[in-house]
Amino acid sequence: MHAAPPTTLRLSLPALPASESLVRDRVRRWLRGLHWPAGQLGDVLLATSEAVSNSIEHAYRSRVPGLVEVEGWLRAVANGYRRVELTVRDYGSWRPVPVYEENRRRGIPLMRACMDEVSIEGTDHGTEIKLRSRPVPPAVVTP
């Protein structure tokens, strides 16, 4: 008898470059626990990593690093299909996405290509990126 895998994820890390791989590790473990298909798992990791990278590169550029928070939820879709929703949040002052920058020029299209839906909301108090994955089939758990 195994405990049911967690359906939510909550992380809070310093908005520093080293945090990006820590977030990937935790999200990877979470999705593996949920028996996420490998290809879709890779896409969620890529999109989440890009969102965290965005927080790290821009939100705290000229101040002491703050926090980047990642929350994830498992959502049921029709016919046993499932998806995950993740929110990546920082508390830096928002600035327009600098389209001339090489990284961001590709980071946001990458997030959009990997997810069903991406929304980016910037306020004076921070930036929140919402990622909604593609639906995946019900988990097939082999005994």
Partner 1 sequence: MAERSFDEPAAEQLVNIDRRRVDDSIVVSVAGEIDTLTTPRLRQAVGEAIDEAAGGSVIVDLTSVTFLGSPGLAALVEAVGQAQRRGGPLRVVVDRSRPVLRPIELTGLDDVLALYETVEEALHR
Which strand (E) or helix (H) includes residue 119? Answer: strand 117-123
Residue 58's region, left for phi above 0, alpha for psi from -120 to 50, else beta, is alpha
Q: What does the per-residue mask of binding to partner 1 show for 13-32, with x meaning CB under 8 A?
A: xx-xxxxxxx-x--------
Query: Is 97 a binder of partner 1 (CB under 8 A)?
Result: no
* Residue of 6, 80, 109, 137 interacting with partner 1 (CB under 8 A): 109
Cβ(63)–Cβ(105) under 8 Å? no
Distance CA 39, CA 19 (A): 23
Query: Is 49 a binder of partner 1 (CB under 8 A)?
Result: yes
Cβ(132)–Cβ(115) under 8 Å? yes
Distance CA 1, CA 61 (A): 48
Query: Is 104 a binder of partner 1 (CB under 8 A)?
Result: yes
Stretch that binds partner 1, among 29-37, 70-78, 104-112, 131-139 (CB under 8 A): 104-112
Stretch that binds partner 1, among 29-37, 40-48, 81-89, 127-135 (CB under 8 A): 40-48
Binding site for partner 1 (CB under 8 A): 13-14, 16-22, 24, 38-39, 42-43, 45-46, 49-50, 53, 56-57, 102-107, 109-110, 113-114
